[in-house]
Amino acid sequence: MNIAVFGTGVVGQVIAQSLAEKKHAVVIGTRDPAASKQKKTKDGWGTPFGVWYESHGDIRVGTYEEAAAFGEVVINATNGGGSLGALSLAGEAALGDKILLDIANPLDFSKGAPPTLLVCNDDSLGEQIQRAYPRLKVVKTLNTMNCELMVNPGRLPGEHDVFVSGNDEAAKTRVKSFLAEWFGWRSRNIIDLGDITTARGTEQMLPLWVRLYGVLKTGEFNFHVVR
Ligand SMILES: NC(=O)c1ccc[n+]([C@@H]2O[C@H](COP(=O)([O-])OP(=O)(O)OC[C@H]3O[C@@H](n4cnc5c(N)ncnc54)[C@H](OP(=O)(O)O)[C@@H]3O)[C@@H](O)[C@H]2O)c1
């Protein structure tokens, strides 16, 4: 499948590599492809993109618009504060009525750590994206765990869960099958919360996730609903 991955950070890198290993064709979207390919200094989590890119010759890099036009499915792994800007650069024409698998969290680190949420309570980033692009089929998922677990849930022993939120039932059904086929999620661990307003809940899990990370000193944990 042709897949667009928006984001050159650690999440974009991990997702793109995992998909490329399964022989999907991936184009990573970024604001300035030439500058991203040159980036050799660390400015976030993971490997500087330019260093990472040198060892991932099977993955192409383009503008957000080029990536969106290429992908049958678009995965949003941009900074939550920049997601709407990234989508605006991609443009409505290239995004069309595709599925947008939205992993971004609206975290605000401008006042340091722990971060606050840029949007919460009666709204969410997932809803903001859906409102801005009504034809897009926004499915919020995978945002409540570390990116290594997103693509390899077997890293943790035992049961743990991934949540799915979105308005379009057919799109959610496809995303659930992507989670299983691409990354190995078991259907009993995929919890469909309902429409895109339920993204409020999963985005608001992040303040807890961040505090758990601080206490546990590792991102190798996840949530599980016992029932
Ligand atoms: N780290 C994790 O394990 C994890 C887990 C769950 C969810 N998430 C979420 O996944 C997303 C990606 O996280 P990350 O740590 O990989 O990367 P990040 O540093 O949060 O985001 C990097 C990406 O955001 C883009 N970006 C930033 N500001 C932008 C703007 N104003 N306009 C357009 N694009 C902009 C950057 O574009 P350029 O390429 O052009 O610089 C880059 O591609 C975040 O929303 C994060 O909350 C992360």
pLDDT exceeds cutoff 90 at 43:
no
* Pocket flag, ligand 1, residue 44 (CB < 6 Å): yes
Rounded Cα distance, 173 and 193, in Å = 13
Rounded Cα distance, 138 and 131, in Å = 10
Distance from the alpha carbon of residue 84 to the mean position of ligand 1, in angstroms: 12
* Pocket flag, ligand 1, residue 80 (CB < 6 Å): yes
Neighbouring CB atoms inside 10 A of 168's CB total: 18
Distance from the alpha carbon of residue 104 to the mean position of ligand 1, in angstroms: 7
Rounded Cα distance, 10 and 153, in Å = 17
- What Rg do the C-alpha atoms of the chain give, in angstroms? 16
pLDDT exceeds cutoff 90 at 44:
no
Distance from the alpha carbon of residue 226 to the mean position of ligand 1, in angstroms: 31
Question: Is it true that the peptide bond before 153 is cis, omega within 30 degrees of 0?
Answer: no
* Pocket flag, ligand 1, residue 62 (CB < 6 Å): no
Count helices and strands (H / E) in the chain: 11, 10
Encode pLDDT of 47-79 as tens digits: 999 999 999 999 999 999 999 999 999 999 999
Encode pLDDT of 197-227 as tens digits: 999 999 999 999 999 999 999 999 999 999 9
* Pocket flag, ligand 1, residue 71 (CB < 6 Å): no
Distance from the alpha carbon of residue 7 to the mean position of ligand 1, in angstroms: 6
Encode pLDDT of 76-116 as tens digits: 999 999 999 999 999 999 999 999 999 999 999 999 999 99
Neighbouring CB atoms inside 10 A of 120's CB total: 15
Burial class of residue 199 (count of CB atoms within 10 Å of its CB; 0-12, 13-18, 19+): buried
pLDDT at 115: 97
Encode pLDDT of 120-170 as tens digits: 999 999 999 999 999 999 999 999 999 999 999 999 999 999 999 999 999
pLDDT at 144: 99
**Architecture of the domain delimited by 2-216:** 3-Layer(aba) Sandwich (3.40)
Domain ranges within the chain, ordered by starting residue: 2-216
Whose Cα sits closest to atom 25 in ligand 1? Answer: 78
3-state secondary structure 113-145: CCCEECCCCCCCHHHHHHHHCCCCEEEEECCCC
Task: Name the token pair of 148.
Answer: 């290594």
Burial class of residue 140 (count of CB atoms within 10 Å of its CB; 0-12, 13-18, 19+): buried
Q: Which residues contact 194 (CB under 8 A, 6 or more apart)?
A: 165
CA angle 43, 120, 170 (to 5 degrees): 90
What number does the ligand 1 atom closest to the CA of 43 have?
Answer: 19
* Pocket flag, ligand 1, residue 101 (CB < 6 Å): no
* Pocket flag, ligand 1, residue 30 (CB < 6 Å): yes
Q: Which residues contact 191 (CB under 8 A, 6 or more apart)?
A: 161, 162, 163, 164, 225
> Nearest-CA neighbor of 67 among 81, 39, 87, 37?
87
